[in-house]
């Protein structure tokens, strides 16, 4: 098998987090919390994990549409964005204030990516009724569909994840 290198994994998660990957931040937070590959640092771990914990703690369960998409962190403006109940919502990073709806008009956003420089949030809407890649302005305007595989969909084609590369101004998604 492959030898595990926790220090290298921590460096890669740190790089991903720096580039805006919430999964990278969450994984780095867990490694910092456990002291795997990096020195344990409870304050840093809490900072890396706080946004994700806040979203899940403050998102009410909705029995009609209980899916809550993976949250994304906007460190520039201090928000965490997540999808729930056919909307994209946000809450302040520190957990204060009300949950705000910022985008409406889709079915089930399974993945989100922020493009703060262009004031956009990208989403993958994939379930048995829709299969599309779209974006909207963070003020719920300029809603647009970029890729639509929905016509005749009897099941999702497998749209799975999305990432925005801020450094190169490129969007990547998996199908």
Chain Cα centroid distance, residue 134: 14
Rounded to whole angstroms, how far apart are CA atoms 39 and 36?
7
- Average pLDDT value for the chain: 77
Q: Give the H/E segment covering residue 144.
A: strand 144-148
User: Each residue of 33-70: pLDDT tens digit?
Assistant: 778 899 988 888 878 776 555 545 444 444 444 455 66
**Sign, Cα dihedral of 88, 92, 95, 100:** negative
Q: List residues bridging with 83 in a β-sheet.
A: 88
pLDDT for 68 equals 58
Return the DSSP state at 152.
T
What proportion of the chain, given as a percentage, has pLDDT over 70? 76
Chain Cα centroid distance, residue 173: 13
């Amino acid at each position: 098998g492959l030898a595990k290198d926790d220090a290298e994994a921590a460096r890669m998660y740190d790089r991903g987090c720096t580039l805006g990957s919430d999964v990278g931040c969450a994984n780095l937070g867990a490694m910092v919390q456990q002291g795997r590959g990096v020195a344990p640092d409870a304050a840093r771990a809490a900072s890396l994990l706080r946004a994700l914990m806040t979203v899940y703690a403050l998102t009410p369960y909705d029995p009609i549409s209980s899916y809550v998409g993976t949250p994304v962190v906007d460190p520039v403006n201090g928000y965490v964005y997540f999808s729930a109940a056919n909307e994209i919502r946000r809450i302040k990073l520190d957990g204060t204030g009300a949950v705000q709806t910022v985008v409406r008009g889709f079915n089930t956003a399974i993945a989100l990516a922020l493009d703060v420089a262009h004031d956009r949030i990208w989403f993958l809407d994939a379930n048995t009724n829709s299969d599309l890649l779209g974006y909207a302005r963070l003020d719920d305007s300029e809603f647009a569909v970029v890729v639509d595989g929905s016509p005749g969909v009897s099941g999702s084609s497998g749209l799975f994840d999305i990432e925005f590369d801020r450094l190169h101004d490129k969007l990547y998604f998996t199908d």
